[in-house]
Amino acid sequence: MSDKKEDHVLTMKTVNPRAVEMEYAVRGPIVTRSVEITKELAAGVQMPFSSVLPANIGDCHATGQTPIAFIRQVVALCTYPQLLQSDQFPADAKQRAERILAGCKGSSVGSYSASSGVDVIREDIAGYIIKRDGHPANMDDIILSCGASDGIKTVLNLMMTGKDGNEAAGIMIPVPQYPLYSATLTEFNAFPIPYYLNEENKWSLEVSELKRALTAAKGKCLPRAICVINPGNPTGQVLSRKNIEDVIKFAHDEKLILLSDEVYQHNVYAEGSEFFSFKKVMTEMGAPYCNMELASFMSASKGYMGECGFRGGYAEVVNFQPDVRAILLKSISAKLCPPILGQVVIDTIVNPPQKGEPSYEQFESEKNVVLDLLKKKAKLITKLFNSIEGIKCNEVMGAMYAFPRLFLPEKAVAAAKAKNQSPDFFYCYQLLEQTGLCVVPGSGFGEKEGTYHFRITILPPLEEMEGVLEKFKEFHLKFLQQYK
């Protein structure tokens, strides 16, 4: 075939229209531009800054966080079991590795596991949930995945109807939301039912709004599930126990499956806030709530470990009908299995060194360093944003992001619209070009009409962040001035 477009089988006319429509802002055009800028800087192009600061994605190690030694020791031992003879590794790391290897076929992390994961690791996950919640958990309900994203897609896929229009599956998602949800619903041709978090009240999740949203979707789809992200991404709120109870009651009354994205369960910073799993709250509410269908999701990529590259994650799927669960398991069989070393990382998180074990103190200390720093940065960033004219930022109660609101001058909004850009995209693009700071426009997460935001991670090192926020302030005030 020649270069002529019409000679290609796949063109913009024939390619999957859902893939064309799908957007994932966390890796959207601004990030693409930041990669180009990095290459231009390396090639000697002069810019007003010397390097790009990636604050677009919750990628802890990319911005300098050190891996937790114990996690990497267990993975290295599983990978190269000759190291079990080395005195360079603590006994508890060796014991974990030996136990996992005994659970792998042929004692090798190079063999496939069951599609739901290695049994001993599923046992350990159930043990972790029991300890966390104070209630039973069953390893048969645990499905490991390639990052939490993969588990979320697997469960969403199960509830698709295979039909279009008002027979498509409707899934309630928060706005703002982590765009994996909108991207997946587009890919699956499902109907998103957006419910708005209340920015005026710390991004709270209000049942009246859930009712409004569901009512508005009636007749447009077959509502199947409600997804809640707690702690919130990109909004950083942490739900109270009472709030979770209200959501559970709503889901029960409306016959919706509960999908709780709890990947930030270790990331709670606000005084008086605490993480409660939906499973725990639902269990303690008793019948009929404790029998509701629930899938909750966890990841190796967040928390204090930040091991994104290992792609470890799991779902706990409770109260599904046995024949439906069999379909769920069948649906993941063709993927063969999640990466074994991602599973191993999950094991170190759910079965960390215990008091009295040789790695305990170092593990706890490394973990607390990370979490304490995140807490400091969460406070710092909120305070700083709120000190700037034209910006208002809710407290970062948990997770890894601030999602400040931008009050943009009308002229800036008009200039953006003239370029067919959302105003916050317009703003973030200039922020990148002028300061090297890479953040994600709020429009990529969804936001209330006429409001503008951006998401910035709290991951860069503290000393770097102070300087960056100073540069940010300078840019922002200049921007306001320019479009006054």
The sign of the torsion formed by the CA atoms of 60, 62, 65, 69 equals: positive
By CB under 8 A, is residue 376 in contact with a second copy? no
Q: Using the rule CB under 8 A, which residue among 34, 73, 230, 457 binds a second copy?
A: 73
By CB under 8 A, is residue 463 in contact with a second copy? no
Q: Using the rule CB under 8 A, which residue among 266, 311, 453, 455 binds a second copy?
A: 311
By CB under 8 A, is residue 79 in contact with a second copy? yes
Of the pair 114, 380, the CB lying nearest a second copy is at 114
For residue 444, what are the contacts with CB-CB under 8 A and spacing of at least 6? 23, 24, 25, 26, 28, 179, 425, 455
- Smallest gap, in angstroms, from Cβ of residue 281 to a second copy? 16
Residues 3-32, one symbol each (x = binds a second copy by CB under 8 A, - = not), give x-x-xxxxxx-xxxxxxx-xxx-xxx----
By CB under 8 A, is residue 41 in contact with a second copy? no
By CB under 8 A, is residue 327 in contact with a second copy? yes
Q: Using the rule CB under 8 A, which residue among 37, 257, 270, 393 binds a second copy?
A: 257
Q: How far apart are CA 455 and CA 401, in angstroms?
A: 6
Residues in the chain, total: 484
Q: How far apart are CA 197 and CA 213, in angstroms?
A: 11
By CB under 8 A, is residue 299 in contact with a second copy? no
Q: How far apart are CA 338 and CA 345, in angstroms?
A: 12
Q: How far apart are CA 393 and CA 208, in angstroms?
A: 24
Are the C-beta atoms of residues 55 and 457 closer than 8 Å to each other? Answer: yes
- Smallest gap, in angstroms, from Cβ of residue 484 to a second copy? 36
Of the pair 108, 368, the CB lying nearest a second copy is at 108
Q: Using the rule CB under 8 A, which residue among 34, 52, 55, 63 binds a second copy?
A: 63
Q: What would the two tokens of residue 339 be?
A: 């990466």
Of the pair 190, 396, the CB lying nearest a second copy is at 190
- Smallest gap, in angstroms, from Cβ of residue 114 to a second copy? 8
Q: Using the rule CB under 8 A, which residue among 127, 194, 339, 390 binds a second copy?
A: 339
By CB under 8 A, is residue 336 in contact with a second copy? yes
Residues 17-54 as b or e (16 or more Cβ within 10 Å = b): eeeeeeeebbebebbeebeebeeebeeeeeeebeebbb
Classify residue 114 as left (phi > 0), alpha (psi -120 to 50) or beta. beta
Which residues in the 167-196 window bind a second copy by CB under 8 A?
Answer: 179-180, 183-184, 187, 189
Q: How far apart are CA 354 and CA 93, in angstroms?
A: 11
Of the pair 50, 88, the CB lying nearest a second copy is at 88
By CB under 8 A, is residue 53 in contact with a second copy? no
Which residues in the 83-102 window bind a second copy by CB under 8 A?
Answer: 83, 86, 88
247 burial level (CB within 10 Å; 0-12, 13-18, 19+):
buried
- Smallest gap, in angstroms, from Cβ of residue 212 to a second copy? 21
- Smallest gap, in angstroms, from Cβ of residue 479 to a second copy? 28
Q: Using the rule CB under 8 A, which residue among 124, 133, 141, 150 binds a second copy?
A: 150
Q: What would the two tokens of residue 269 be?
A: 């910073």
| Beta bridge partners of residue 108, listed in sequence order | none
Q: Using the rule CB under 8 A, which residue among 40, 51, 110, 477 binds a second copy?
A: 110
Q: How far apart are CA 116 and CA 151, in angstroms?
A: 10
Residues 225-254, one symbol each (x = binds a second copy by CB under 8 A, - = not), give x--------------------------x--
Coil vs helix vs strand at 398: strand
| Beta bridge partners of residue 145, listed in sequence order | 313
By CB under 8 A, is residue 282 in contact with a second copy? no
Q: How far apart are CA 257 and CA 223, in angstroms?
A: 9
Q: How far apart are CA 281 and CA 333, in angstroms?
A: 32
Choose the binding region for a second copy from 121-129, 193-201, 332-340, 421-429 (rule: CB under 8 A).
332-340
